[in-house]
């Protein structure tokens, strides 16, 4: 048996070994060693046999036809075309006739829609849509298109159409790079003032263009490039990283967590003379692997049989069309991400990473997928900011202003020169930025921040930056829509808004009934309601609890009637006495009333302790009585003036506001002369009283630290930010932004603010102001005590109900009645809530007629006896006998017993 099993296994293994593997063909240029190597490595990984055909770059078409026919005679299941150009047209025609699947990896400029092939290279439509959206996102209004002579412009034809749009928003210039030396053309582009370039060229020309552009100084910080070829970042870009040029390129492969890529790279390097990293592999090399992967994936799902074909007999492979259509419709995953083809085999819906060259290396800034550009520009990391940047060792002119605390003239007994003459918050901030980015700076004073005049010109700092008379402006320069039309701003280094500066009002003594303000009205209402409700609960619980029915005359062992102490008056008195901490002569006897009373005592302890603890503050604290707390209340005031600085974003907020109240306030400020020329004048007027001054919240914080009688009233009317001003499309913006974000994360900006607001130049004079106004205790504060009281009452009710049921059961057994009858009679008596005397035994229904015939003498005695007892409490029961002789009571009971 064992021998037979071994024989079968050997035969199966022999059959597997002998089973022929599929063969694929590849057509390459003679000097394309990297592509041929990638083809062989990929075929080995997916267990294919290979046939390689080499052709010269001169384009001998007859030779190419012969190779295709040889592949057909060998029974290949597919052909990979790595030649492209006009040769693809001939290869496609033969493959279409023979029905052999054809996969090309080259951009083909002669593609026709009736061709039956698959092109793994992204289609021209994909590149055109991507470039159009990217240029729009970058905000380029004019750019130059550079292309290599002989290279088709199918990938950029939509860019040419942008210049023909009706709105004339874009200006497009086209320049051809021919021969081996492009420097003359590049120099002409530089002399023409071109700064934005789109470069469309084969990957073989990339290094030459980059090198010669750098040689003619077309790689400075004012220049920007977009390279269409996805092979830009496979080159060594280290020599261009620190020149400041903005260089954008594309990549099809995902480098992170891509195990197939690492496996392929390892196998590729094993047979290559040079070791390459995955990011250095050319796109065509990766597409060779993906082409073999597609064939392998399709052959595992489609059963085919190879067939030797003869070109002269015009034969065709029966499975070719099926295999090709399956590859078009399947959605496989390769090194260049997902494969999605249209009906013509073109790869339109392709995922592309958009990368940008930075001093820290190339970084992904966006992703193209589903015909949409999704920006995801990352910030430069802290460790990368410290590296060399385009700002390194450069000297910039920085505009500042003498606005406290952002800038001061330094006080010194010595004569100071240069940057030493100034100090302040923004002075220290620019110094920290220079330490991070390695640049130098010179200060220049400019008190006019700048606005646009009706004739379109600009003033102040904005004008100097636009005219290249200064590089940056750093002060309390508000980022506004109008200013952003003239210059760019960095990421905000401080957020603020408009608020009101007003003199702190004098303290007012507490009101007459301030002791009532300890609790909110809601708490007082609940307190009264709870006391009334608890009184009703105590009556009910007392009436259904057996132990609360006591013998009014202890000397009579078996009384016919029992007495209960829980009337409404007694219950309320017990509750009020507990609240007032005075106690009461009423004391519950049964378990359930005692539980409810104990919980009530706990509740009153909490409430009284909370009340007393807060009452002292309410009787001693003097409160500020503000004439207004919001802008709307200030608007309604008739005797308080208000104003703002005559120029700046604060007065513009009221001037251009869509709120009619704000516009009216602006008109009133201007017409009545309440506006001031300087913030210091406004602060002085506010300090003298009866004047509200609108300022930015950061300036109010600074003023409050030095003028102790001034306060901020209300919240912020708007939200705005301070930023560093710089020229439009400044190449330094991203470095300044990243450095500011780093300083924020480290808390450096907040430390500078603490120093210049609360320490230097008179800061910290007023100390910390405390809000002395005490808050009322509302239901949210006291809810727990009410919950405890409610739970205790429920427990007491439950116990009292069980006690009542137990008593009903005992009476039903004792007197031979039904449980239901006794329960109904007990509930009727308890729910009447009248009378505090209960008969020990209720007589049967048939004796009720005899009861009605009792003589008047007996009724009068009994009624007088009940009247005397009903007015007594539990405390006076035992002293009752001293006021009424026990003899008279005994006689009355004796008469009744004798009568019955």
Q: Which residues are annotated as a binding site for L-glutamate?
A: 478, 483, 649-650, 696
d(CA 695, CA 644): 7
Structure tokens at 811: 């009476």
Measured over the CA atoms of residue 542, residue 544, residue 546 and residue 551, the dihedral's sign is: positive
Longest CA span, the chain: 147
DSSP 349-387: S--EEEEEEETTEEEEEEEEETTEEEE-PPPPPHHHHTS
A 10 A CB-CB count for 482 gives 14
Burial of 15: CB neighbours in 10 Å, binned 0-12, 13-18, 19+: exposed
Residue 236, C-beta contacts closer than 8 angstroms, at least 6 positions apart: none
d(CA 492, CA 484): 13
d(CA 460, CA 453): 11
Burial of 3: CB neighbours in 10 Å, binned 0-12, 13-18, 19+: exposed
d(CA 719, CA 804): 68
Looking up tokens 């083909």, which residue turns up? 108
d(CA 650, CA 696): 7
Mark out the alpha helices in 459-499 (DSSP H runs). Answer: 460-466, 481-484
Chain-centroid distance of CA 372 in Å reads 23
Structure tokens at 730: 């400044």
* Sequence ranges of the binding site: 478, 483, 649-650, 696
Closest CA to 128 of 225, 232, 198: 198
d(CA 578, CA 451): 73
Grouping H, G, I as helix, E, B as strand and the rest as coil, residue 838 is strand
d(CA 568, CA 636): 53
d(CA 203, CA 210): 11
Burial of 399: CB neighbours in 10 Å, binned 0-12, 13-18, 19+: buried
d(CA 600, CA 575): 8
**DSSP H or E segment with residue 789:** helix 779-815
A 10 A CB-CB count for 314 gives 9
Residue 281, C-beta contacts closer than 8 angstroms, at least 6 positions apart: 234, 253, 265, 268
Q: Determine the length of the chain.
A: 900
- Sequence-separated contacts (24+) of 446-452 with Cβ below 8 Å: 446/399, 446/400, 446/401, 446/470, 446/473, 447/401, 447/402, 449/401, 449/473, 449/475, 449/477, 449/478, 449/648, 450/483, 450/486, 451/482, 451/483, 452/482, 452/485, 452/486
Q: How far is CA 88 from CA 85, 108, 118, 152, in A?
A: 6, 8, 11, 15
Residue 710 near residue 502, CB atoms below 8 Å: yes
d(CA 461, CA 231): 43
Find the Cα–Cα–Cα–Cα dihedral 352, 356, 362, 368, rounded to 10°: -10
């Amino acid at each position: 048996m064992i021998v037979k099993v071994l024989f079968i296994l050997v035969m199966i293994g022999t059959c597997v070994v002998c089973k022929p593997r599929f063969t694929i063909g590849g057509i390459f240029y003679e000097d394309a060693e990297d592509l041929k190597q990638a083809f062989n490595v990929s075929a080995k990984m997916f267990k294919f046999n290979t046939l390689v055909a080499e052709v010269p770059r001169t384009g001998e078409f007859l030779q190419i036809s012969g190779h295709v026919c040889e592949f057909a005679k060998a029974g290949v299941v597919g052909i990979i075309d790595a030649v492209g150009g006009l040769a693809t047209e001939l290869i496609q025609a033969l493959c279409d006739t023979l029905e052999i699947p054809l996969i090309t990896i080259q951009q083909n400029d002669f593609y026709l829609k009736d061709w039956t092939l698959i092109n793994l290279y992204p289609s021209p439509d994909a590149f055109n849509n991507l470039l159009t959206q990217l240029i729009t996102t970058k905000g380029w209004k004019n750019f130059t298109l550079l292309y290599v002579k002989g290279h088709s412009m199918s990938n950029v034809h939509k860019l040419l159409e942008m210049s023909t749009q009706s709105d004339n928003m874009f200006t497009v210039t086209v320049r051809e790079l021919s021969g081996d030396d492009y420097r003359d053309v590049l120099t002409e582009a530089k002399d023409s003032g071109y700064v934005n370039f789109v470069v469309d060229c084969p990957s073989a020309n990339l290094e030459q263009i980059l090198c010669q552009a750098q040689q003619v100084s077309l790689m400075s910080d004012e220049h920007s490039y977009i390279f269409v070829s996805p092979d830009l970042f496979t080159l060594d870009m280290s020599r261009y990283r620190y020149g400041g040029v903005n260089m954008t390129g594309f990549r099809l492969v995902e480098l992170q967590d891509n195990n197939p890529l690492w496996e392929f790279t390892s196998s590729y390097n094993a047979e290559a003379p040079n070791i390459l990293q995955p990011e250095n592999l050319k796109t065509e090399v990766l597409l060779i692997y993906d082409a073999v992967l597609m064939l392998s994936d399709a052959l595992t799902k489609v059963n085919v049989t190879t067939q030797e074909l003869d070109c002269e007999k015009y034969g065709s492979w029966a499975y070719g069309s099926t295999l090709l259509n399956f590859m078009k419709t399947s959605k496989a995953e390769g090194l260049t991400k997902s494969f999605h083809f249209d009906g013509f085999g073109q790869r339109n819906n392709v995922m592309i990473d958009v990368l940008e060259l930075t001093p820290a290396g190339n970084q992904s800034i966006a992703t193209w997928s589903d015909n949409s550009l999704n920006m995801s520009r990352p910030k430069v990391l802290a460790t990368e900011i410290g590296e060399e940047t385009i700002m390194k060792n450069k000297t910039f002119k920085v505009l500042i202003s003498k606005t406290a605390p952002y800038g001061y003239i330094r006080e010194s007994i010595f004569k100071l020169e240069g940057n030493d003459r100034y100090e302040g918050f923004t002075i220290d901030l620019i110094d920290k930025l220079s330490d991070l980015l390695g640049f130098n700076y010179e200060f220049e004073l400019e008190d006019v921040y700048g606005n646009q005049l009706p004739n379109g010109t600009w003033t102040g700092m904005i004008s100097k930056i636009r005219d290249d008379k200064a590089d940056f402006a750093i002060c309390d320069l508000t980022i506004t829509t109008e200013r952003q039309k003239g210059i760019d701003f960095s990421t905000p280094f401080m957020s603020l808004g408009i608020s009101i500066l007003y003199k702190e009002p004098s303290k007012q003594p507490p009101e007459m009934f301030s002791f009532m303000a300890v609790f909110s009205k809601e708490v007082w209402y609940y307190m009264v309601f709870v006391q009334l409700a608890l009184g009703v609960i105590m009556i009910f619980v007392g009436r259904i609890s057996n132990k609360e029915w006591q013998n009014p005359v202890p000397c009579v062992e078996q009384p016919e009637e029992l007495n209960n102490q829980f009337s409404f008056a007694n219950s309320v008195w017990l509750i009020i006495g507990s609240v007032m901490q005075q106690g009461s002569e009423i004391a519950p006897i049964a378990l359930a009333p005692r539980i409810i009373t104990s919980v009530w005592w706990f509740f009153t302890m909490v409430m009284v302790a909370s009340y007393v603890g807060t009452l002292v503050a309410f009787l001693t604290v003097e409160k500020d009585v503000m004439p207004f707390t919001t802008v709307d209340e200030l608007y309604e005031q008739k005797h308080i003036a208000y104003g703002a600085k005559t120029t700046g974003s604060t007065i513009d907020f009221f001037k251009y506001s869509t709120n009619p109240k704000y516009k009216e306030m602006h008109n009133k400020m201007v017409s009545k002369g309440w506006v001031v020329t300087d913030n210091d004048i406004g602060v002085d007027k506010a300090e003298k009283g009866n004047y509200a001054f609108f300022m930015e919240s950061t300036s109010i914080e600074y003023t409050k630290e030095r003028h102790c009688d001034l306060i901020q009233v209300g919240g912020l009317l708007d939200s705005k930010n301070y930023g560093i001003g710089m020229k439009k499309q400044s190449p330094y913006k991203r470095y300044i932004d990243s450095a500011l974000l780093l300083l924020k994360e480290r808390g450096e900006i907040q430390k500078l603010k603490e120093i210049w607001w609360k320490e230097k130049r008179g800061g910290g004079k007023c100390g910390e102001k405390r809000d002395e106004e005490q808050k009322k205790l509302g239901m949210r504060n006291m809810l727990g005590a009410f919950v405890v009281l409610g739970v205790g009452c429920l427990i007491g009710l439950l116990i009292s109900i069980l006690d009542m049921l137990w008593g009903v059961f005992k009476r039903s057994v004792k007197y031979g009645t039904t449980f239901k009858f006794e329960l109904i009679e007990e509930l009727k008596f308890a729910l009447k809530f009248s009378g505090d005397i209960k008969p020990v035994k209720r007589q049967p229904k048939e004796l009720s007629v005899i009861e009605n015939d009792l003589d008047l003498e007996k009724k009068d005695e009994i009624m007088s006896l009940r009247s005397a007892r009903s007015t007594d409490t539990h405390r006076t029961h035992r002293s009752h006998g001293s006021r009424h002789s026990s003899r008279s009571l005994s006689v009355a009971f004796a008469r009744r017993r004798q009568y019955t």
